[in-house]
């Protein structure tokens, strides 16, 4: 009864037979027997044509939100084939080898960026190249394989695969590669398909037809479970199914506590596709638009026009609701090919607002110009400053904003722009009152991903110390308590946009501290709103927060929160505690 643990890409739980979905990956494409022929370009054109047919077939039953992505795939495939033809022609090599070479060239540049954000998009390129390679080798996609009522286990899956799985009634997906924000994962979430990613899964230990429990609530895959386990899981499935329709309904209601405190549940997005999907998922607005992707996929910074188009699109999806655009948080884990920085310790180096002010002409000014234009035409935008540590950084941003404003009307209007500081460093957390005293700040948004790393001195991406990384550590909660109460005294709005806001046990603590806005992963909106609707905000300070602040360690604070939620009758939340 092997059990594998992985990362949850889409929540859910199911019991079903396994089907192994083995598609040759582009990295493993065998090219040693391949010779150059005069028809290499024609073969590539033929593969492209077949791929485009597959995309348009997929489009027919793809959800509205995925159509734009499929169109982007077509454009990427076209340029990939163009470059491959040129290489095959110049180097006199076969189409397969040329395709592999072109793919590997891009993979290397994606890798050397060192960014997890870009690595996720690499999955898109890999899937397009693999599909083209299959057509070159005369293989049809695995469209004949029936996945109905089965759990698909694969090394990797493409977004088009997942769209097809959804149509066929798949019970779940497990892959070794991929990321939780890949398109495949986004589509799985949109279609309620449980999906986990298990990098160290051993495919050779799994057979077609093996019964498995895919528990994408606790992130495990149990192959050939015993009778008792199956029985337990059947109960869990039934409970989850019941809860799911409630969560779906919760997503579309305004979140308020039992004592009528209204909480904004906003969403975090990275690009226009995610914004479009989020706009139909119950988000009360956008609490964090991570614009960095626009900067990291180019060999020079995006111009004002590109940024303006992106901002206005998101503003339109959320007409009449708040959209918080974060100024690009570049440097450290989001390096730029066009600003090479040689730093011993980039997380303590030139990143976020520091880099923006240093490269004000090249990066910050065009960004602010695009922001001001988009705000003038749509009116629902807010500006968020990343990695602030000093009052000076806020003042300098205010000065730059006034300089950037083109006319006196715009200059006047800038004084009404809602600027917020992202509290991601202990310095900003402790100086929140002084930041507010600048008069420029209307809100703060706690970036708990970085705030946890800087408070606990734990690199957020380092597996060796990941056991120490926990937002419910009383040290972080104490810092939040000091900081949030300073912010509330200054009457500035308080939101949280780090991953913490999406986590069930953190929600009552944050509300108890006085937080009024949570910006979460779009897939968690229903769950977070449901938890909010079950809490009595006026009891949380005394009954919960005072106790967790007095905990000696994270195990104790987690225990206190779990006991509290169970004591108020929220047994159904057990899978998340
Ligand atoms: C954070 O630090 O909590 C945050 C939201 O920013 P990012 O995860 O993009 O660094
Ligand atoms: Mg951050």
Give 471-511 pLDDT, tens digit per residue. Answer: 999 999 999 999 999 999 999 999 999 989 999 999 999 99
Residue 406 pLDDT greater than 80, yes or no: no
Closest-lying ligand 1 atom to the alpha carbon of residue 450 = 2
329 CA → ligand 2 middle, Å: 7
CA distances, 511 to each of 24, 47, 284, 508 (Å)? 49, 55, 17, 5
Which residues, at least 6 apart from 419, have a Cβ–Cβ distance to it below 8 Å? 382, 383, 384, 385, 394, 397, 398, 401, 440, 441, 442
Give yes or no for residue 449 CB within 6 A of ligand 1: yes
In short, whether 172's Cβ falls inside 6 Å of ligand 1 is: no
Mean pLDDT, rounded, of the chain: 89
What is the average per-residue pLDDT within 103-128?
Answer: 70
Q: What is the mean pLDDT of residues 567-572?
A: 91
* Cβ of 398 less than 6 Å from ligand 1: no
Which ligand 1 atom is nearest residue 500's CA? 3
Residue 237, pLDDT score: 84
Q: In angstroms, what is the span from residue 423 Cα to ligand 2's centroid?
A: 9
Report, as residue numbers or ranges, the catalytic residues: 183, 497
| pLDDT of res. 504 | 94
35 φψ region: left (φ > 0), alpha (ψ -120 to 50), beta (else): beta
Q: What Å distances lie between residue 53 and 56, 130, 211, 571, CA to CA?
A: 5, 16, 35, 49
Q: Which ligand is nearest to the CA of 461?
A: 1
Residue 287 Cβ inside 6 Å of ligand 1? The answer reads no
**Between 454 and 332, whose confidence is greater?**
454
Could you tell me which residues come within 8 angstroms of residue 428 by beta carbon, excluding any fewer than 6 positions away?
Answer: 388, 389, 421, 422, 435
What are 26-53's pLDDT values in tens digits?
777 777 778 888 899 999 999 999 989 8
Residue 113 has pLDDT above 70, yes or no: no
Residue of minimum CA distance from atom 4 in ligand 1? 447
- Between 52 and 325, residue with greater pLDDT: 325
Does the beta carbon of 326 sit less than 6 angstroms from any atom of ligand 1?
Answer: no
* Strand 255-256, strand 220-223: pairing: unpaired
- What is the atom index within ligand 1 of the atom nearest the CA of 290? 9
Give the pLDDT band (50/70/90) at residue 169.
very high
- The span from the CA of 125 to the CA of 183, in Å, is 11
**Spatial separation of the C-alpha atoms in residues 259 and 360, rounded to whole Å:** 46
d(CA 209, CA 150): 9
Calculate the CA 316 to chain-centre distance: 21
Share of the chain above pLDDT 70, in %: 93
Quote the CA–CA distance of 405 and 407 in Å, as a whole number: 6
Dist. CA 573–CA 564, nearest whole Å: 12
Q: Which residues of 436-473 are buried (b: 16+ CB within 10 A; e: fewer)?
A: beeebbbbbbbbbebbbbbbbebebeeeeeeeebbbbb
Tokens of 71: 């169109």
Of 156 and 416, more confident: 156
**pLDDT at 263 > cutoff 60:** yes
Closest to 187 measured CA to CA, from 216, 214, 158: 158
Strand partners, 495: 445, 517
User: Which pLDDT score is estimated for 354?
Assistant: 98
Is 428 near ligand 1, meaning CB less than 6 Å away? no
Taking CA 566 as the corner, what is the angle to CA 564 and CA 572, rounded to the nearest 5 degrees?
A: 140
Residue 250 to residue 173: CA distance in whole angstroms: 26
Question: Is the CB–ligand 1 distance for residue 460 below 6 Å?
Answer: no
Question: What's the mean pLDDT in 446-472?
Answer: 89
SS3 for 528? helix
pLDDT of res. 115: 52
Question: Of all atoms in ligand 1, which is nearest to the CA of residue 497?
Answer: 5
> pLDDT band at residue 180, thresholds of 50, 70 and 90?
low
Question: Taking 90 as the threshold, does the pLDDT of residue 121 lie above it?
Answer: no
CA atoms within 13 A on the CB side of 445: 33
What is the number of the ligand closest to the CA of 445? 1
Number of alpha helices (DSSP H) and beta strands (DSSP E) in the chain:
23, 17
Indicate the top mutation candidate among 449, 454, 479, 503 to test ligand 1's pocket, ranked by most ligand atoms within 8 A of CB.
Answer: 449
Average pLDDT over residues 83-98: 92
């Amino acid at each position: 009864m092997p059990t594998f643990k992985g990362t949850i890409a889409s929540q859910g739980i199911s019991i079903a037979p396994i089907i192994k979905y083995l598609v040759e990956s582009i990295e493993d494409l065998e090219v040693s027997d391949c010779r150059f022929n005069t028809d290499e370009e024609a073969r590539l054109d033929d593969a492209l044509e077949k791929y485009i047919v597959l995309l348009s077939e997929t489009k027919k039953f793809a959800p509205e939100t995925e159509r734009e992505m499929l169109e982007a795939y077509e454009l990427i495939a076209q340029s990939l084939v163009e470059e491959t033809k040129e290489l095959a022609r110049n180097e006199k090599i076969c189409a397969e080898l040329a395709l592999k070479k072109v793919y590997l060239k891009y993979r290397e540049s994606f890798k050397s960026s060192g960014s997890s954000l870009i690595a996720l998009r690499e999955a898109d390129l890999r899937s397009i190249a693999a599909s083209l390679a299959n057509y070159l080798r005369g293989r049809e996609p695995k469209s004949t394989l029936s996945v109905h009522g089965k759990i698909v286990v694969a090394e990797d899956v493409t977004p088009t695969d997942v769209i097809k799985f959804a149509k066929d009634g798949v019970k779940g997906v497990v892959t070794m590669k991929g990321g939780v924000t890949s398109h495949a994962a986004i589509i799985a979430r949109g279609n309620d398909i449980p999906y986990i990613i298990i990098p160290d899964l051993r495919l050779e230990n799994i057979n077609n037809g093996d019964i498995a429990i895919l528990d994408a609530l606790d992130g495990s895959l149990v192959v050939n479970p015993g009778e008792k386990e199956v029985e337990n899981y059947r109960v869990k499935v039934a409970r989850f199914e019941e809860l799911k329709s409630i969560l779906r309904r919760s997503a579309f209601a305004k979140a308020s506590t039992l004592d009528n405190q209204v909480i904004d549940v906003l969403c975090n997005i990275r690009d226009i596709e995610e914004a479009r999907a989020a706009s139909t998922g119950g988000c009360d607005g956008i609490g964090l638009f991570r614009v960095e992707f626009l900067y990291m996929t180019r060999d020079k910074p995006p111009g004002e026009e590109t940024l303006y188009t992106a901002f206005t699109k998101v503003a339109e999806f959320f007409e009449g609701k708040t959209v918080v655009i974060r100024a690009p948080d570049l440097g450290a884990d989001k390096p730029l090919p066009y600003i090479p920085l040689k730093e011993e310790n980039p997380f303590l180096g030139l990143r976020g607002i520091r880099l923006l002010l240093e490269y004000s002409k090249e990066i910050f000014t065009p960004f602010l110009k695009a922001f001001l234009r988009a705000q003038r035409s749509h009116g629902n935008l807010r500006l968020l400053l990343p990695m602030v540590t000093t009052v000076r950084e806020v003042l300098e941003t205010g000065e730059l904003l006034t300089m950037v404003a083109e006319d006196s009307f715009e200059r006047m209007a800038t004084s009404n722009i809602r600027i917020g500081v992202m509290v991601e460093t202990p310095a900003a957390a402790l100086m929140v009152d002084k930041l507010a005293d600048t008069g420029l700040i209307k809100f703060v948004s706690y970036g708990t991903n970085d705030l946890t790393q800087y408070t606990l001195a734990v690199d957020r991406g380092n597996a060796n110390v990941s056991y120490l990384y926990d937002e419910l550590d009383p040290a972080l909660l104490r810092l939040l308590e000091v900081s949030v109460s300073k912010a509330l005294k200054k009457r500035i709005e308080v939101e949280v946009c780090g991953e913490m806001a999406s986590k069930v046990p953190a929600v009552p603590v944050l509300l108890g501290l006085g937080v009024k806005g949570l910006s979460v992963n779009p897939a968690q909106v229903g769950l977070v709103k449901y938890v909010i609707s079950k809490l009595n905000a006026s009891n949380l300070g005394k009954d919960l927060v005072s106790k967790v602040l007095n905990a000696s360690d994270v195990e104790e604070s987690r225990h206190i929160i779990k006991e509290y939620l169970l004591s108020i009758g929220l047994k159904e939340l057990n899978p998340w505690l």
